[in-house]
Structure 1
Amino acid sequence: MERKMPMLRILALATFLSASLSAVEAGELHKALLYKNPQCSCCEGYADYLRQNGFDVEVKPTNDLAEISSKAGVPADFQGCHTMFIDGYVVDGHVPVKIVEKLLNEHPAIAGISLPGMPMGSPGMVGEKTEPFTVYAVTKDGKAPTVYATE
């Protein structure tokens, strides 16, 4: 009987920890809505990249991408090739997941972030990274974007 008690405690603890970890993992799954040009395949690559990093991404093709980005507060020269909405923020372009997670953890008072254009080697893009990626903070008040992070 004495030997069974420690084993039961171990099993109970293992069950508790397993359930706790599953709850944490489920709680960290961020839902995102990504708008993209219907003909763009790199955007699908970016969505897959996010999924591989624990994000739940819904992709919606649209021919109104520039308008969606603009309405979200992203100036035309700071727009990427897709626009994502996540936890109340806009994320424009191929922003690395570490920087998206930084945004979601810090909760800054901004509209969102953007990696303009389609830099080679960025998540979802082909080629090798040749220079640091500069990600900009997009403000809610229409002021010029500022550097949010580099990678």
Structure 2
Amino acid sequence: MKFNLFALVLLFTSTSALATTITMYKSPTCGCCSQWAKKMEDSGFTVDTVMINNDREFYKIKQDHKIPMEYMSCHTALVDGYVIEGHVPADDIKRLLKERPNIIGLSTPGMPVGSPGMEQGDEKEAYSVMTFDAQDKRTVYSSH
């Protein structure tokens, strides 16, 4: 049997990409955040959850990561140099990590019904995932 180093490196790289870790900051009492984390894990991410009990500390995390006030949501997550605010779908995060745009991160403003972690049966409202960058530019990244 011939050893193929290239194939081994490719396999390792592919496996590592599937195990991207998301660090999520949330309140211990927020159930929808936990549901969002489960959706991310079901999509191949590893989620490390950090419980924040102090509202002032939680707001400081959001400020430190330059999340616009109107984009703030119930949880803040960090993944591979990007900020993910709120109920952003896994496919949008995967696209972000593949395309690597020059932005701070993505946000699903508010808590739209039907977004990951906010499911309520068949009910679903239209929502957009927004980008935000260091120049305070904001654009629609995707619509759902």
State the TM-score, normalizing by the size of structure 1. Answer: 0.80
Amino acid in the other structure paired with 1:99: D
Identity of aligned residues (%): 34
1:123-142 matches, cutoff 5 A = 123-127=116-120, 128-141=122-135
Q: Write the distance in 2 (CA, Å) between the matches of 1:88 and 1:37.
A: 22
Q: CA deviation at 1:149?
A: 1.5
- Do 1:99 and 1:149's aligned partners in 2 also have CA atoms closer than 8 Å? yes
- Do 1:53 and 1:97's aligned partners in 2 also have CA atoms closer than 8 Å? yes
Amino acid in the other structure paired with 1:135: V
Aligned to 1:147: 140
Q: CA deviation at 1:20?
A: 6.0
Structure 1: tracts of 5 or more residues without a match: 1-8
The SS at the match of 2:94 is helix
The SS at the match of 2:101 is coil
Q: Write the distance in 2 (CA, Å) between the matches of 1:27 and 1:130.
A: 30
The SS at the match of 2:118 is coil
Paired residue total: 138
Q: CA deviation at 1:134?
A: 0.3
Q: CA deviation at 1:46?
A: 0.8
CA distance 1:28–1:73, change in 2 (3 Å): same
* Runs of 4+ with >4 A deviation: 17-23
Structure 2: tracts of 5 or more residues without a match: none
Q: Write the distance in 2 (CA, Å) between the matches of 1:24 and 1:110.
A: 25
Q: CA deviation at 1:133?
A: 2.1
Aligned to 1:112: 105
Q: Is structure 2 residue 90 aligned with structure 1 residue 102?
A: no
Aligned to 2:42: 52
Q: CA deviation at 1:125?
A: 1.4
Q: Is structure 2 residue 25 aligned with structure 1 residue 35?
A: yes
- Do 1:66 and 1:76's aligned partners in 2 also have CA atoms closer than 8 Å? no
RMSD: 2.3
